[in-house]
Amino acid sequence: MILLNGKKTAADIKEEITLEVRELKDNGHKTPHLAAIIVGNNGASITYVNAKVKACERVGFESTLIRLTEKVTEDDLLNEIAILNIDNDIDGFIVQLPLPKHIDEQKVLMAVNPDKDVDGFHPTNVGKMALNLPTFISATPFGILELLDRYNVETSGKHVVVLGRSHIVGSPMSILLSQKRKVGNATVTMCHSRTKNLKELTLQADIIIAAIGIPEFLKADMVKNNVTVIDVGITRLPDSSKKSGFRLVGDVAFEEVSKKSEFITPVPGGVGPMTIAMLLKNTLLASKRNF
């Protein structure tokens, strides 16, 4: 069993970006600049955005954090987006999700300039991704592709089963892995809550991508030997033995499934760190477009 170490791989990518940023500056180009808008006081969102700001500092990016209250109006949020859209100093920006219920998330994502949409959520970028055109690939799918690539996991001709059909992970992964690309050329089955005979499908899979948000859903009796497992889920479960009072688990019952796996991602330390690294990579790409 080989652990797909996202923490180490993300650190390698950040080091590569750091060197590239240094070279850009030496050649007289501007410093890449990532902005983030966060609305309200969602603990997980604040932690995640702070990690993004810290990552920017590490690689030599400029970063701007715009914090808005939970009660901000949709119009005021759209106004902040409009300002970032025309600010030539900002190469890319994100609007941290989830947003409060009184704000239309789709309307907000549509308002972001596709050329600055480093999250890759705008329909223009999703469409380009589906057509295999150069674009921003959303950070989590991008990170999964990069992990598979750097560990030389063969995908061509393999049967991939994707658990989950979200617009952020499941749906784009099913498209990307079926495309004619280096990490692709797979036959993909996308499963969801209405899928029948799920176990029959997962037992056929050479590669499983679990992104359904149900802790330890994928068990050892659902996978064949030498499977590759990418665990995208992350859930806090109460655990009095931990100082924090909880432990983090994925969608995969790691202890039992890892015994049958050829490759597997841990939780934490697998896909999670890759997401931030690839957001930085998208920002660097956005910066280069402005030369």
179 catalytic residue (yes or no): no
- Distance of CA 87 to CAs 32, 36, 125, 235, 289, Å? 13, 13, 20, 37, 15
Q: Where are the domains of the chain?
A: 28-113, 139-272
Hey, what CATH topology would domain 139-272 get?
A: Rossmann fold (3.40.50)
pLDDT of amino acid 291: 75
Marked catalytic residue, from 14, 91, 117, 119: 119
pTM here? 0.94
Q: Spell out the alpha helix ranges (H) of the chain.
A: 6-26, 43-59, 74-86, 105-111, 123-130, 139-150, 170-178, 198-204, 254-257, 271-289
Distances 250 to 83, 210, 218, 270 between C-alpha atoms, Å: 38, 9, 9, 10
Per the annotation, the verdict on 204 as an active-site residue is no
CATH fold of the domain at 28-113: Rossmann fold (3.40.50)
Q: Of residues 52, 91, 206, 251, which has the active-site annotation? A: 52
Q: Say whether 154 sits in a helix, a strand or coil.
A: coil
Burial of 262 (0-12, 13-18, 19+ CB in 10 A): middle
Give mean pLDDT, residues 235-263: 91
Q: Which of 96, 116, 206, 231 is catalytic?
A: 96
Flag whether pLDDT at 93 surpasses 90. yes
User: What per-residue confidence (pLDDT) applies to 290?
Assistant: 78
Domains 28-113 and 139-272 are alike in CATH topology: yes
d(CA 23, CA 268): 33
Q: What is the pLDDT of residues 149-189, one digit of tens each?
A: 999 999 999 999 999 999 999 999 999 999 999 999 999 99
Q: Is residue 247 over pLDDT 90?
A: no
